[in-house]
Amino acid sequence: MDSRHEYFSLLKGIAEALSEFSEPLAKSAFERLSVLFMLMEIRASGGRSMNIDHKNSGFPVAADVLAIGNDVVEGVAMTGDRPDDVRKEILDEILLRRRLPNERMRERLARGLYAREMNRVKSSEAAVFCSNSEEQVFFKSLDGGDRYEFKWDAWDSSLGRAIHCRADIKTDGKLDGEALEKTLRKVKNVASKFASSGFKMITLAQEIADSSDHIYVNLVERVVIGPLLNPSFSSVDDPVRDAFESVSNQRDAWVIRWIHETAEAGSTKEVRAGIFSSRTSQNFRVDTSDPDCAERGATEVVQHIAMPHAVYQQISTRRNECPSLKGASVHVVTKTGLIEYN
C-alpha cells in the first residue's frame, strides 16, 4: 500500500472515530481535523509536498498544515477540467482502453477535487487550522441577545499540535451596530493571537477580557491535540510505545493524546484607567492545588489518551504504574464504538 495513502487513512480513521467523543469541544476538534486530513490527502495526491513531523507529533509538518489554512482563507480558483470530466476520462481509460490512468490524470483529478472541496469548506466554516488568522475565528449569538460563543483553530508550529478553542462571552448591552462589530472584531483578533499552547490559559482568557471594557468572559476552553504515536509515522518517545510490539495488526498500533484546559471567570475588581477614571478588570480562577492547573494557569486540566482495543489490552494491567496513564481519561476505540474509562 502507498505509504501516503496508509498515513492519511490512519489519520482520518482516528479523527472520525474520536469525533463521536461525547465532550462537545473535543468532538468539534476531531471533526475539523477529519476535514483537514481529507484536504491534505487530496492536495498531496495532486503532486504537492507532504511531510510528517516524526519527531514531535506524528502529524503533518506545520508548513503543510498552514498551506491548507491559507488556501481556505484566500480561496482556490477552479482551473482546468472539472473533476467529473476527469473521472469520466479515467473510466474510459480503464474500461475502453484497458489501461491504468497515468499520473497526469490522477493529478488533474486531485487538483479539481481540491479546489471544489476547499471552496465547500470555506463556505461552511468547516475548518481549518491557520496561523494567527482572525478570519478563522467564528462567533454566533447564543441567546439572540448579548451572549456570544466564539470558536477558533490554531496550529502550534513548535510542538506540532492541533488547537481548538471556545469562549463564552457576554457584552454589556451598551453597544450596537458598528461599535458592537468593532468590539467583536477585537475579540477575534486577540483570540487568534493567544491561542497557542505556549500561552497559559489564564493569559488567553485575560487577554480576551482586556480587549474591551464592554465584554465579560464567562469561560474559555482549549483542546490541544497531539502527539500521535505510531511505529511507522512517529518517533515520539512515550512509555506506551512498547505495547505496539505485541499488536498483531499494525493498523491498530496507534495512540493519540490530547489535553482539555478550562479557564473560568472568577472575581472582578476596579482598576485605575487614568487619573480620574477606573474600569472593571476580570480575574480567572486557577486551581493552584492541582500541579497541571498551576503549571498551565487553568481552572481545570484533563489529560486524555485514546487507542484501539488491541493496544489497551497490552497496557490496561499496568495503567496505575505509568504516570502518563494514571491520571488520564482513557478512550478505547472498538469496532462498535468508543468506550471511555476514567
| pLDDT tens readout for residues 278-309 | 567 799 999 999 999 999 999 999 999 999 99
Residue 84: predicted pLDDT? 65
Helix, strand, or coil (residue 215): strand
Asked if the structure places residue 294 within a domain, the reply is no
Give per-residue pLDDT as tens, 19-55. 988 789 999 999 989 988 988 888 777 667 689 999 9
pLDDT number for residue 324:
75
Residue 22 domain-assigned (yes or no): yes
Q: What is the pLDDT of residue 45?
A: 73
Note if the bond before 60 is cis, omega within 30 degrees.
no
- Segments forming the whole domain that contains residue 36: 3-124
| Backbone φ, ψ for residue 58 (5° rounding) | 80, 0
pTM as predicted: 0.85
**Residue 101 domain-assigned?**
yes
Domain count, the chain: 1
Does residue 57 lie in a domain region? yes
Please report which residue ranges of the chain form alpha helices under DSSP H: 3-18, 24-45, 62-74, 83-95, 103-124, 177-193, 201-209, 291-296, 309-315, 323-326
> pLDDT higher for 122 or 210?
210
133 in any annotated domain: no
Question: Taking 80 as the threshold, does the pLDDT of residue 139 lie above it?
Answer: yes
φ and ψ at residue 118, rounded to 5 degrees: -60, -45
Q: Mean pLDDT in the chain?
A: 84
Examine residue 17 and state whether it is found in any structural domain, yes or no.
yes
pLDDT at 116: 76
The string of pLDDT tens digits covering residues 179-215 is 999 999 999 999 989 998 899 999 999 999 999 989 9
Q: Is residue 15 part of a domain?
A: yes
What pLDDT score was predicted for residue 145? 80
Give the distance between the most distant pair of CA atoms in the chain. Answer: 85
Domain membership of residue 80 (yes or no) is yes
| Residue 75 confidence (pLDDT) above 90 | no
**Per-residue pLDDT tens for 229-260?**
999 999 998 888 888 988 888 889 999 999 99
Q: Span 167-186, mean pLDDT?
A: 90
Helix ranges, 224-308 (H)? 291-296
